[in-house]
Structure 1
Amino acid sequence: MFKPRFFAAVALAFALPAQAQTVALAVDGSWSEFVVDDFSAESGIDPLSWIADDGSAIAFDFTLSAPAILKVVDAGFSGDSFQVFDNGISLAFTSAGINNYRDGATPSVIDFDTAWSQTNFSRGLFQLGAGSHHITGLLAVSALDAEGLPFNATLGGVALTAVPLPAGAWLMLSGSGLLAAAARRRSA
C-alpha cells in the first residue's frame, strides 16, 4: 500500500512545472532580458521557453493599477518569433522576423531599443489591463543556421510602459492650463 502512494507522489512531482525565477517589472519602459538556449536550460524546463542567464525558467510578475503596454522584442539573431503568455493564457505571437543568420555570425543586436527600431527583428505590443500578471514566453520560430537548421538560441527583452493619454485628453489639459493662466493674469 505504501509503494503505490510513493510512486504516485514521485510521478506528480515530475509532472509539475519547474519553479520559475520571477523578475518584477516596473512601468517605466526599462528593458528586462530573457534568453532561449537549449544547451543551458536545466532539466525539466522546456528548452525553448524563456530562461534566465543561469538556465532556470523565467517569468515576469507585476501588478498594474492602470492599463499598460507590454513590449517584447527579439535582440539576438533576427528571424526568431515568440509566443507570449499572461497567467498561462496566450496573448499572441510577436511579428515574424527576417532571418539574417550567417555562418559564424555573432548575435546581430544586443541593444533592445535598436532591435525595436529595426523591422527585421520580431516584436510585439500587448495592452494589459489592471491586475496581476505573470508573463512567460516560448520561442515559436527560430532563426535558421547556415545549414537551414533551427538555431534555438536567442535573447530578447520585455518592457512595460504606461498607456499614453488620448490626444483629446492632452488637448483638454492644455486648454485647462491656458484658462488657468488667463484667470491668474486677470486677477493680477
Structure 2
Amino acid sequence: MTSKFFSRAVAVGALSAFTLAAGLSSAHAATLAADGSWTEFLVNADLTPVNSPNSLDWLLGFDDASTAHFTFTIAAGFVGSLTVLDSGISGDRFIVTNKGAALGETSVGVDGDPLLEGSSVADFNIALANPSFSRGVYTLQAGNYDISGYLSRSVQLAGSPMNVTTGGLQLTVSAVPEPTTLASLLAGLSLLSLALRRKASK
C-alpha cells in the first residue's frame, strides 16, 4: 500500500507547472509563535519558485510554493529553544539557517520506505518521539531571527533521491534566571549535597 504522503506529493507534483505559472513570490515570512505549537513546512523540488537559488529550500506548503522564512524576536532576559523535525519520510535531513547563516544540520535518521503506509507521520509529537526521524534543537539568545533552511539529504526511491518531504518547527521561550536566583539555587544545592554526604557517612 502506498503511503499517504507519497500519494499527496505525486498529486502536488502534477500541479507544479500551474502553481509556478501563477506567479507566487520567491520568499514569504511567517511569524513563528513561541507557544510550543508546531508549524509545518514543505520541500518539493518541483514546486520551488523559478527564481529561488536552491530547489530544495523550505516552502510554505503544498498550496503555496513560496520560499519559507519564519521570523520571531526573543526579548532580553529570555532564551529560546527551536526544534526542527523531519516528518515526511524518516531519513531526510535539513540544514537550518538564521538570516542565511547555518545554525546546524538535523540529526541522522533511519530511512523509511516511501511506498509503505505508515512510513510518514502526520502528528509532529509522534514523529518527535520516534528516533527514526531526524531533528535538531537549537538554543537561541535574545535577538531577532529569520529561520529558513533546505533539504540536505533525501530518502531514495528507486535509487534516486525523492527531494520531497515535510517538516516542522517548534519554538518555546523561557525567562533566564536572575543572577541572585541562580546564586540562591546553587547555594541550596550545595547545602543539600553536604547534608546527603553527612547522612551517607553515618
What TM-score results when the alignment is normalised by the length of structure 1? 0.74
Greater fraction strand: 2
**Which residue, 84, 92, 97 being the options, matches 1:72?**
84
State, as a whole percentage, how many aligned pairs show the same letter. 38
Residue 88 of structure 1: CA displacement?
1.1
Moved more, 71-80 or 33-42: 33-42
Residue equivalent to 1:59: 69
Q: CA deviation at 1:25?
A: 1.1
Amino acid corresponding to residue 73 of structure 2 in structure 1? T
Measure the CA separation in 2 of the matches of 1:106 and 1:21.
31
Determine if contact 1:25/1:160 at 8 Å carries over to the other structure.
yes
Q: Tell me the amino acid that sits aligned with residue 60 of structure 1.
A: F
1:159 maps to 2:170: yes
2:39 is aligned, of 29, 32, 39, to 32
Q: Which has the larger radius of gyration?
A: 1
> Which structure 2 residue ranges, 5 or more long, are not aligned?
1-24, 187-202
Q: Paired residue for 1:97?
A: 109
User: Measured at CA, do residues 148 and 26 of structure 1 come closer, stay the same or move farther in structure 2, by a change above 3 Å?
Assistant: same
Q: CA RMSD in A?
A: 2.4
Query: Are the equivalent residues in 1 in contact too, given 2:85–2:136 (CA < 8 A)?
Result: yes
Q: Distance in 2 between matches of 1:33 and 1:171?
A: 38
> CA, structure 1 residues 128+103, in 2 after alignment: closer, same or farther (shift >3 Å)?
same
In the alignment, is the contact (CA less than 8 A) between 1:79 and 1:144 conserved in 2? no
Return closer, same or farther for 1:106/1:29 CA change in 2, 3 Å cut-off.
Answer: same
Q: Partner residue of 2:30?
A: 23
- For 2:109 and 2:145, locate their aligned partners in 1 and report how far apart those are by CA, in whole Å: 26
Give the aligned partner of residue 175 of structure 1.
none
Aligned residues: 155
Runs of 5+ unmatched residues, structure 1? 1-17, 173-188
Tell me by how many angstroms 1:30 deviates.
Answer: 0.5
- What secondary structure sits across from 2:35 in the alignment? coil
